[in-house]
Structure 1
């Protein structure tokens, strides 16, 4: 009888672990004047958007990087509509995606925020 209970418990545990649901890769946030939005499912990242906080803008560029991604936007005036890229692929579990907003100034460039999100299962 004890062997049957142990076998049933083992089968129940195996069934529970085999039916794990994927975590959503959709996340976002802001730091200083720059924001990041990531859309996807599980480890798949379909879209990454860099933008300013609502009502804000700056002249410069965004740098999107992490998980094998390294992209700079064109230099222009950026607002809330922002800059989007579409990776359309799985990223390594634990990848950290970041956006840097770089405002062009008379002295060069000034960092206007570095928000990041982690992609994990």
Structure 2
């Protein structure tokens, strides 16, 4: 299922995978973010995703023509988590609304881990 954008000429259907890709690329541009994460259901271990699989760390749902985005991320050690999260929220919301024309209702950041650089 995807999101629908309607105008006088017809309807535009945007798949959730497309929205997840846009959100993933936008998030990766933010300072302090190490990468997108995926938690293994079997072991409960968090896996840092490669750049080509980053949309697996994004969950998109739509509700009454509004988009809700959940991002699962790993942040860098020494960064202020609240500032990094707010930057990600602002960037993702701006990019989704600008590129697609859809309204973003909510962006939820789920910190899955902190990575210490050696």
TM-score range for the pair, normalised by the shorter chain length: 0.3 to 0.5
TM-score by structure 1 length?
A: 0.33
TM-score by structure 2 length?
A: 0.33
* Higher Rg: 1
Whichever structure has more helix as a proportion of its residues is 2
Whichever structure has more strand as a proportion of its residues is 1
